[in-house]
Structure 1
Amino acid sequence: MTVRPALAAGRASSCPGLPAPGALYRRAALGALPGLGGRRGADLPAVEFTVAGVRIDRAHLADYDRVCGFRLTDRLPATFPHVLGFPLTLRLMTAPGFPIPLTGVVHVGNRITTRRPITADETLDFTTYAENLRPHDRGRQVDVVLVGSVDGEEVWRGVSTYLGRERKAGAGRDRGERPEAPAATARWRVEPRVGTEYARVSGDHNPIHTSRLGARLFGFRRPIAHGMWSKARCLAALETRLPDACTVEVAFKLPVPLPSTVNFTLLPDGGFALHDSRGRPHLAGLLR
């Protein structure tokens, strides 16, 4: 892994391979304790992290495909590079001075652009950085960018939007009238094991997805599905419709509690959505 200033030349420090997610989660947990959190920056650090030579483990790919509902092939699902590069983005978000603490952060949106198909025999280089720190009614949002390249050519780009919640006077949930949910194209039962199985294949072991106690500590009555599992499950349903080069953008709405039943809907003009049995939205997506 290489760390370098994002906006200016400088001396880089490096260590081989991707960072270990477990150690980064422990760092985040310790940082949440009073007196140990360190000082949060007011702005984004002008730094990017890179790692070269990431190889695809076919057993890992197959395991991911099974958990998310994709066919078993050597072609990477559009969401799989997000999983490969996740430890690098986790390293960025736990870096000293990163303005939003990882503990309690909410993943509110994700946009993935694929330039061409990627296969399991290719080797990827990843770069991650953060941009567009901005205010939000409930705190601050930031975009974390992850770029995947093969032999110097960008083949994949993911942009994840995260919300750091802060208490603000007058801030509250919009309780306006909700439009009627569209008719379901398919109905899926999401079992509790989805949280632990996706954590295993993705490296995202946030306890709100895997532990009832961990979920309750953050205000959920029971564990919730990972947002990126929900996106991947939708893309698995659209797998035969996806072109080689495309952009798929989603907004994560209400969490998917585990267990639950969700309704998937294919909409006109490339749209798709997930709703609960009462018509409340979990995810809104668009394929371009």
Structure 2
Amino acid sequence: MPAAGPLYRRALLGALPGLGKGRRGNDLPAAELAVDGVSVDRTHLADYDRVCGFRLTDQLPATFPHVMGFPLSLRLMTAPDFPLPLTGLVHIDNRITVHRPITADEAIDFTTYAQDLRPHDRGRQLDVVLVGSVDGEEVWRGVSTYLGREPTAGGGERRDRSGRTEVPAGTARWRVEPRVGTEYARVSGDHNPIHTSVLGARLFGFRRPIAHGMWSKARCLAALENRLPDAYTVEVAFKLPVSLPSTVSFALLPDRGFALHDSRGRPHLVGLLR
């Protein structure tokens, strides 16, 4: 797997005045990156389980292959021909399909590519696909939708961020402490400063650091752990960011839905399990 540190440094240097690019092209990278035989570090898996609230077992949580393969996707997103700059990129949707349980003694082959560059009301968005296979059989697939905000945007898909719906009764309340930002960065390899630094967060318009969206998704799945079948798809839309620290409310919705709200009833995340 590529080392994440140099890739983040490349992205940050590219964002400096005079060194970065302006509006990028309209073409997706003509590349598919792959790394074969990625083994599970059980200590890493246990650390991840603790940070996200999963039970300590040899079965991988649905969100863990995303962490395992993230450096490969990061390599794709920091390539010079990637159409959206990594700095300031916003993760707005994530869909994961688990075809069967994956255990810690299995080595996973990962492939990643980008698809469907399209307009958004606030800029442009695309999907980064990460596929995990074992012995030639696809066992896991993740699709992350990222938004690159651009000042001249308009006319594309408009996301409903108002969340003006009836607030469901919460089944659990969680206190999300600032350490969640740094602990998840450590176990995920995603060291975006908006999650770990007050200064980094303020540079991108946040008063305080915010929790990783994939931590929020993982924490919700941990709460649903005893309800999950062997094969399923779980998709979430990330709404308002979770500021650190804050208190959030987890709720079950009809038809296998779930949500995470703030203390005022505004949604942070809305998800669906199929």
What is the TM-score with the length of structure 1 in the denominator?
A: 0.91
- Whole-Å separation in 1 of the counterparts to 2:111 and 2:160: 36
Give the one of 11, 36, 55 matched to 1:52.
36
Give the deviation of 1:177 after TM superposition. 7.7
Give the one of 211, 216, 233 matched to 2:197.
211
- Whole-Å separation in 2 of the counterparts to 1:284 and 1:81: 21
The DSSP-based 3-state class of the residue aligned with 2:32 is: strand
Give the deviation of 1:106 after TM superposition. 0.3
Q: Equivalent residues in 2 for 1:130-279 (5 A)?
A: 130-168=114-152, 178-279=164-265
The DSSP-based 3-state class of the residue aligned with 2:109 is: strand
Task: Map Cα deviations across residues 115-174 of structure 1 (whole Å, 9 max, x no partner).
Answer: 000000000000000000000000000000000000111000000000000113778986
Letter in 1 for 2:225: E
Give the deviation of 1:43 after TM superposition. 1.0
Give the one of 121, 124, 130 matched to 2:105.
121
Q: Which runs of 4+ in 1 moved over 4 A?
A: 169-177
Aligned to 2:82: 98
Q: Equivalent residues in 2 for 1:2-151 (5 A)?
A: 18-38=1-21, 40-151=24-135
Contact 2:35 2:110 in 1 (8 A): yes
The DSSP-based 3-state class of the residue aligned with 2:146 is: strand
Q: 1:216 to 1:124 in 2, by over 3 A?
A: same
- Whole-Å separation in 2 of the counterparts to 1:81 and 1:104: 24
Give the deviation of 1:268 after TM superposition. 1.6
Give the deviation of 1:38 after TM superposition. 4.5
Q: 1:155 to 1:33 in 2, by over 3 A?
A: same
Give aligned-pair identity as a percent.
Answer: 83
Give the one of 239, 248, 266 matched to 1:280.
266
Letter in 2 for 1:128: T
Consecutive unaligned residues of structure 1, counting only runs of 5 or more, are 1-17
What is the TM-score with the length of structure 2 in the denominator?
A: 0.96
The DSSP-based 3-state class of the residue aligned with 1:61 is: helix
The DSSP-based 3-state class of the residue aligned with 1:47 is: coil
- Whole-Å separation in 2 of the counterparts to 1:149 and 1:81: 10
Give the deviation of 1:45 after TM superposition. 1.3
Q: 1:44 to 1:237 in 2, by over 3 A?
A: same
Task: Map Cα deviations across residues 185-242 of structure 1 (whole Å, 9 max, x no partner).
Answer: 1110000000000000000000000000000000000000000000000000000100
Letter in 1 for 2:187: V
Q: What is the total number of aligned residue pairs between the two structures?
A: 271
Is 176-185 or 125-134 further displaced after alignment? Answer: 176-185
- Whole-Å separation in 1 of the counterparts to 2:68 and 2:273: 22
The DSSP-based 3-state class of the residue aligned with 1:269 is: coil
Aligned-residue RMSD, C-alpha: 1.6
Give the deviation of 1:179 after TM superposition. 1.6
Give the deviation of 1:176 after TM superposition. 6.1
- Whole-Å separation in 1 of the counterparts to 2:163 and 2:140: 38
Is 136-145 or 28-37 further displaced after alignment? Answer: 28-37
Task: Map Cα deviations across residues 41-99 of structure 1 (whole Å, 9 max, x no partner).
Answer: 32101211000110000000000000000000000000000000000000000011100
Letter in 2 for 1:134: R
Give the deviation of 1:36 after TM superposition. 2.0
